[in-house]
Amino acid sequence: MYKIVFSDIDGTLLNHDRELSPSTISTIKELKDKLPFVLISARMPAAMRHLQANLDINEQPIICYNGGLILVDGQAVSSTEIPLNTLESLCDFNQNMNCHLSLYHSDEWYVPEYDQWAAREENNTKVKPEIKSNNDVLSVWKQDNKGAHKIMAMGDEAHIDKIKDYLSENFPEQLHLYCSKPTYLEISNKEISKLTAIKFLLKNHFKITTEETIAFGDNYNDVEMIKGVGMGVAVGNARKEVLEVANIVTQSGKEDGVANSLKELFKI
């Protein structure tokens, strides 16, 4: 029998207004006393906490930045950053193109200016960025000996392609590059994934096996997780790559696929 559920957020758990539907909230509230429900996302912690609160699962760990940061009781139990010198190389390369680079570390989110990209991300995640040039952020992080949990490059397709090519050429073993759409490039440390984070929590916190685990997802960064757990569930709107490795396919995120699937699996 399954003992824990992990769910991606964007495209998976949220409805078309990018919110939790009443059905999703009531289903998870009913389930949470029977087994843990854990959020797992590319988002920063601040963009996940309000959803945790709505679902009444504040006591559960959260997996942020695709596994780059794992929080238990608000404390980091695992943190994997992009090294500062890699960040410096990218910022130098980007100097002439001036593509939007959002820099993230834990609950810090810095944007070089408040442009359309920053506004869109704020609207999606309900978190307000701090405006600071990439170079200023780098000099502060250098003093604090910090790297980035995530970099988001946002801009026109040609610029994004150039950045992707540059990073794949120069840091093939170090970086994981993931285009959620042609104008968005998410950059994280290659050592981590959603599956590595799940395995870390299962072993160190829950003492549950991967075979006893259910995970929901929709996008490229969910493939390994969906393939690696006991029951991998793809929502109906998932990418082809996710649909191909899933054990079952439920309705789309906009049609409460996660809630419907949980009701069926746990007879709620």
Residues in the chain: 268
- Helix pair 84-94, 157-170: axis angle to 10 deg: 140
Show the tokens assigned to 245: 């490795």
Nearest-CA neighbor of 137 among 115, 184, 105, 160? 105
* Cβ count near 70 (within 10 Å): 26
d(CA 61, CA 247): 25
Token pair 């699996």 is found at: 265
Cβ distance 65 to 44 under 8 Å? yes
d(CA 163, CA 113): 19
Please say if 8 is a catalytic residue. yes
Run of H or E residues at 10: none
d(CA 133, CA 110): 8
Letter for the amino acid at 93? Answer: F
Q: How far is CA 11 from CA 110, 147, 178, in A?
A: 24, 28, 15
Which residues belong to the active site?
8
